[in-house]
Structure 1
């Protein structure tokens, strides 16, 4: 592999070249114009080498240094970077008298985020009114947990007093623009797994074309010939990455538009299997060490978690939903890897945790005793 010379190396080469081709000159001595000329030449050559290094990284998707270059790689396969999307959900108006809410009525969160009412509604008297809303701005920051209070800026007419709060399930589905590494992995997966008219890898590619879908597992022939079941996660959007019914329906509807006509598709959310962890005699037992252990454990469940299924185990297709367990050794290793941990005892679990079909391991209650 070609090693790009350092600036000092290039400067030494330029000085040596002056001594060789311009007899009697000495680019090492100051002051003289040859000394300055050697520095200028070395600097220009170093810039050229730096640009050549940048170009060499742009050639491959695995080393592309910026999102603009990755977009060029993705465009060759028809894989655009996934855009941001607004949060959606329901809010509840609780009123002591008549109220009317118009389409596109604006509601505001305490931090200034604005939501628009999608479906209008009214009440002739006291009661509760549930309406759909969508965030005015895109991004995960538009998501809101259940119970968050909102205030009306416009489009609400009320005879009495009322309150507005986010309904059960919260406002979800707000998604940031796909980050560089996620986009890179999609492009590399597409390069390594060319379309095969409905192979298992095709379903992974199709599923990940929906914003927010992060991990996908495919179960072939799960209910007989021609049947395919797709499990997926939306990490960072839903707790433990497990999507809600609306997200499942949205993905099902999309894949049905691109899959082979002879297949019968089922899209499902994984079933969470909480695994409780009890750690005894943590040394040193400090808040900082406990937080480090929690961080490592959550990262392990995210990195090593998969969906169990009835498909065949295949080393070349790690995305198949095949029989799986969550290994006890992974928990040991995660705790031991946490920063500042000197020693500990693991009281629970004591054996590997087998997963049933459709289940995925998620962190349960993590206790320190």
Structure 2
């Protein structure tokens, strides 16, 4: 039988009733009355104590831990620290100059919104040209990520000759890898996964746990025995860090090193980036065809790909292990449903794709171009 925590008012009324029952001739319901005040104080103190006991009881379990401090204690029991924030970079910045230029190590550059980047190494040119150098964000977090071509302004550490100031812009690969501290619910999910999947000498779940501990990794798909006994292939996904969630070569190397440090000896390990199977979508007859409804459709489609897309592989389907890379098809019905779920949508026709998308090993369905056939 669940324990019902009474409200503050109910506890005060209960204290007043106790006075009437045990202190004959008193009436704690009449004001002004010192017994009335005493009952209210007792009710308030009892409410605070019961509330604190409820808070403590929720701390006992990872799935009900009410705050990060209590959840960190659960993670510490399993050696699972929260993934900390990290700065964006290193990334390339290109200086374009009409005269000699010198950049010091530690030179500072500012984005228009005030985000600061630091040069990790100096460089110079004796004349006109372009100079590429590495930078890293001065502060941790996703805010430091920048797209290619983003202009930067000099704060300090740069000298040049001539009357024309050089220009600075983020290089073609952008500045990435900036991460915020792991979300508390994502951290809770990792702890619960570890509790439900105890270490088992290199089971598929073990590889999920090991890879998920790497900063930026949000999902992991595992294909055991992909090349025979003793082999395992891992596909990490980094939702939020990249538009399609597919990690870059440097990310793959980080995940591989993390797994190699803890995996059983003799395992033939492959850590790979999934191949994007881009799904272009055409929606016709959207009613009402407004900007707001279109944006709602796009949001629902992004969410559908995040929830439904998975890396395909050759592993056997197991209902208790949804992280296995099994044969996969991205259903056209999921797209139709996502569009129908959009706020304000009354009707639509999904013109493309015309059929389900069958994936080959190593592929993951990603959202491509969304075209609305009629104009607003």
Q: Establish whether TM, by shorter chain, passes 0.5.
A: yes
Which deviations, in whole Å up to 9, do the C-alpha atoms of 1:86-141 show, x marking residues without a partner?
A: 11111112223333333222222222222122233333333222221111111110
> Normalization by structure 2: what TM-score?
0.93
The runs of at least 4 aligned residues of structure 1 exceeding 3 Å deviation read none
- Residue among 124, 131, 155 paired with 1:129: 131
1:310 is displaced (CA, Å) by 1.1
Which deviations, in whole Å up to 9, do the C-alpha atoms of 1:56-91 show, x marking residues without a partner?
A: 111111111111111111111111111111111111
CA distance in 1, matches of 2:123, 2:228: 46
After superposing the two structures, state which structure 1 stretch, 85-94 or 335-344, moved more. 335-344
Which deviations, in whole Å up to 9, do the C-alpha atoms of 1:327-364 show, x marking residues without a partner?
A: 12211221222112222222222322111111111112
1:155 corresponding residue in structure 2 = 157
1:117 corresponding residue in structure 2 = 119
Secondary structure (helix, strand or coil) at the match of 2:344 reads coil
1:95 corresponding residue in structure 2 = 97
2:27 corresponding residue in structure 1 = 26
1:153 is displaced (CA, Å) by 2.8
1:360 corresponding residue in structure 2 = 364
- When the two structures are aligned, how many residues end up with a matched partner? 369
Secondary structure (helix, strand or coil) at the match of 2:88 reads strand
CA distance in 2, matches of 1:348, 1:80: 44
> Normalization by structure 1: what TM-score?
0.95
CA distance in 1, matches of 2:13, 2:110: 64
Aligned: 1:267 with 2:238:
no
1:223 is displaced (CA, Å) by 2.1
CA distance in 1, matches of 2:293, 2:116: 39
1:215 corresponding residue in structure 2 = 219
After superposing the two structures, state which structure 1 stretch, 52-61 or 247-256, moved more. 247-256
Structure 1: which 5+ runs fail to align? none
Structure 2: which 5+ runs fail to align? none
1:229 corresponding residue in structure 2 = 233
- Residue among 235, 243, 257 paired with 1:253: 257
CA distance in 2, matches of 1:124, 1:257: 46
Aligned: 1:317 with 2:318:
no
CA distance in 1, matches of 2:88, 2:296: 31
Secondary structure (helix, strand or coil) at the match of 2:367 reads strand
Aligned: 1:106 with 2:116:
no
After superposing the two structures, state which structure 1 stretch, 60-69 or 9-18, moved more. 9-18
After superposing the two structures, state which structure 1 stretch, 112-121 or 67-76, moved more. 112-121
CA distance in 1, matches of 2:357, 2:60: 44
Secondary structure (helix, strand or coil) at the match of 1:241 reads coil
Aligned: 1:331 with 2:335:
yes
Secondary structure (helix, strand or coil) at the match of 1:137 reads coil
CA distance in 2, matches of 1:151, 1:279: 42
After superposing the two structures, state which structure 1 stretch, 19-28 or 231-240, moved more. 19-28
1:204 corresponding residue in structure 2 = 208
What's the C-alpha RMSD, in Å, of the aligned pairs? 1.6
CA distance in 1, matches of 2:265, 2:129: 48
1:26 is displaced (CA, Å) by 2.1
Secondary structure (helix, strand or coil) at the match of 2:139 reads strand
Which deviations, in whole Å up to 9, do the C-alpha atoms of 1:189-229 show, x marking residues without a partner?
A: 11111111211111111111111111111111112222211
CA distance in 2, matches of 1:259, 1:104: 39
2:13 corresponding residue in structure 1 = 12
